[in-house]
Amino acid sequence: MNQLILRYAAGNWWLIMPEQKSGYIAPLQINDSAAEMVKYLKEGKSAEEIASILSEGDSSLISEITSDVEALHKSVLNHFKLKTD
């Protein structure tokens, strides 16, 4: 995940693989919430840590946000054909 670049361009967030060795992989367009999650993932935070930050003290949201972060992480890894960090 750390090798990916997160950029805001043309009104959208994009995840980009800068060095591609075996074929082209298109950038992945993500929304604002996903971009915030990606920033934390790139910092090495766990899904639970990210959920705690994003829930803003509402413990009833932690489980749902944790699932969202895990799903996003899996989706990004699959899109860019990356192994688990």
The helix-helix angle for 47-54 and 32-42 (nearest 10°) equals 130
CB 77 within 8 A of CB 83: yes
The domain segmentation of the chain, as residue ranges, is 5-79
Rounded Cα distance between 8 and 13, Å, is 4
How does pLDDT run across 19-48, given as a tens digit for each residue? 888 789 999 999 999 999 999 999 999 999
Query: What per-residue confidence (pLDDT) applies to 83?
Result: 83
Query: What per-residue confidence (pLDDT) applies to 10?
Result: 92
Residue of 34 and 85 predicted with greater confidence: 34
DSSP strand E in the chain: where?
5-9, 12-16, 28-30
pLDDT at residue 85 above 80? Answer: no
pTM of the model: 0.90
Query: What per-residue confidence (pLDDT) applies to 84?
Result: 76
Query: What per-residue confidence (pLDDT) applies to 21?
Result: 80
CB 69 within 8 A of CB 50: yes
